[in-house]
């Protein structure tokens, strides 16, 4: 991947916006319900939920619960295991009472006997041009777009209503139409996320300028390499002093500081998503020993690597 000229982070990240969604289910649940998505999505796939009507709560790992309401769009870019439940349902509740599942145009219609408290469109999407390391570095575990609260995303609300209308009619080709609409929705969500993130200092800003972008991409392609400042300056076609100055201006850290943070962030995702030996993950992150890796990880995240893995097992 190479950054374009100019200084617009959204232009630099434009290739990341192409996605192909797959609508899997329409859920209309009431009473005390909890729908578990206990198996993470395959590598390269993200999970999403569109709240068409009502309200619910999203639980992801050990993060605080996220309240969702009609018009909200939730995307889990790394496809992590999660659960969706009723707004008043206790977190430890299991399952949907009196669940009924009907196939319609390749989608599952899931409902129960109660008056629906929430209506959701659930599915997953695949990024067209998003290498695994870049996805994990650029995107957080959860992105939520609230289409009713932000005038800047009013078009997203219109698309959500169009999906609701199509699902109400549920005629031939409804799934294909909903997936096309969902594709536009997800592009808007990602664009808005990058627009807001670019306003802060961080990775999008580094990717928006050619010299820093070349250094960042090189790190992403080989995060475990024994990088030195001279190496990064050579890749960036920059002097050492200029590269350090540009990183400080755009990300408030040095290139080597950014590399350390990137390695630990990637390691955290690998710990949460796999059962690979800790030594392998430490080596990929550029650490010669598990103990050195564990100390750096604890300083960065306030938790030991083993705690991340135990949370995943729970």
Q: Quick check: pTM over 0.75?
A: no
Q: What span, in angstroms and rounded, lies between the C-alpha atoms of 21 and 258? A: 32
3-state secondary structure of 194: helix
- Mean pLDDT, consecutive 10-residue stretches, the chain (314 aa), reads 44 67 94 92 88 95 91 91 95 92 90 92 82 63 86 82 87 89 87 67 74 87 88 96 94 90 82 81 87 91 80 48
Structure tokens at 288: 């010669």
Report the pLDDT value the prediction gives residue 48, as an integer from 0 to 100. Answer: 95
User: What phi and psi, each to the nearest 5 degrees, are found at residue 102?
Assistant: -125, 135
What is the C-alpha to C-alpha distance for residues 68 and 203, in angstroms, rounded to an integer? 28
Q: What is the CATH number of domain 209-313?
A: 1.10.10.60
Rounded to an integer, what distance in angstroms lies between the CA atom of residue 2 and that of residue 129?
12
Asked if residues 261 and 251 have their Cβ atoms less than 8 Å apart, the reply is no
From the CA atom positions of the chain, what is the Rg in Å?
21
Q: Quick one: pLDDT at residue 308? A: 77
Q: What is the rounded CA–CA span in Å between residue 162 and residue 182?
A: 10
d(CA 261, CA 274): 20
Mean pLDDT, the chain, as a whole number?
84
- Domains of the chain by residue range: 9-198, 209-313
Instruction: Determine the Cα–Cα distance for residues 82 and 39; give it in Å rounded to an integer.
Output: 8
Alpha-carbon span 121 to 123, nearest angstrom: 7
Let me know: does 155 contact 20? Beta carbons within 8 Å: no
Report pLDDT for 137: 63
What is the structure's pLDDT at 251?
84
Top-tier CATH class for 9-198: mainly beta
């Amino acid at each position: 991947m190479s950054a374009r000229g100019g200084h617009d982070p959204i232009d630099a990240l434009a290739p990341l916006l192409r996605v192909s969604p797959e609508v899997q289910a329409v859920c209309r649940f009431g009473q005390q319900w909890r729908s578990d998505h206990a198996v993470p999505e395959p590598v390269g796939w993200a999970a999403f939920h569109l709240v068409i009507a009502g309200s619910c709560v999203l639980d992801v790992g050990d993060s605080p619960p996220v309240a969702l309401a009609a018009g909200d769009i939730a995307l889990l870019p790394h496809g992590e295991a999660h659960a969706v439940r009723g707004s008043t349902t206790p977190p430890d509740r299991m399952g949907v009472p009196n669940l009924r599942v009907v196939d319609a145009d390749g989608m599952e219609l899931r409902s129960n006997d109660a008056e629906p408290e929430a209506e959701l469109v659930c599915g997953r999407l695949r990024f067209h041009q998003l290498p695994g390391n870049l996805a994990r570095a650029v995107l957080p575990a959860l992105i939520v777009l609230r289409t009713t609260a932000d005038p800047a995303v009013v078009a997203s609300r219109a698309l959500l209503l169009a999906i609701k209308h199509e699902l109400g009619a549920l005629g031939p080709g409804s799934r294909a139409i909903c997936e096309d609409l969902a594709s536009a929705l997800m592009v808007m969500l990602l664009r808005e996320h990058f627009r807001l993130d670019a306003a802060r200092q961080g990775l999008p800003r580094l990717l928006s300028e050619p010299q820093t972008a070349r250094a960042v991409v090189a790190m992403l392609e080989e995060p475990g390499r024994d990088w030195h400042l001279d190496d990064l300056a050579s890749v960036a076609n920059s002097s050492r002093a200029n590269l350090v100055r540009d990183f400080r201006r755009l990300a408030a850290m040095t290139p080597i500081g950014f590399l350390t943070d990137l390695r630990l962030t990637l390691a955290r995702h690998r710990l949460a998503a796999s059962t690979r030996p800790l030594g392998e993950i430490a080596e990929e992150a550029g650490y010669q020993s598990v103990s050195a890796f564990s100390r750096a990880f604890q300083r960065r995240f306030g938790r030991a690597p083993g705690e991340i893995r135990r949370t995943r097992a729970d």
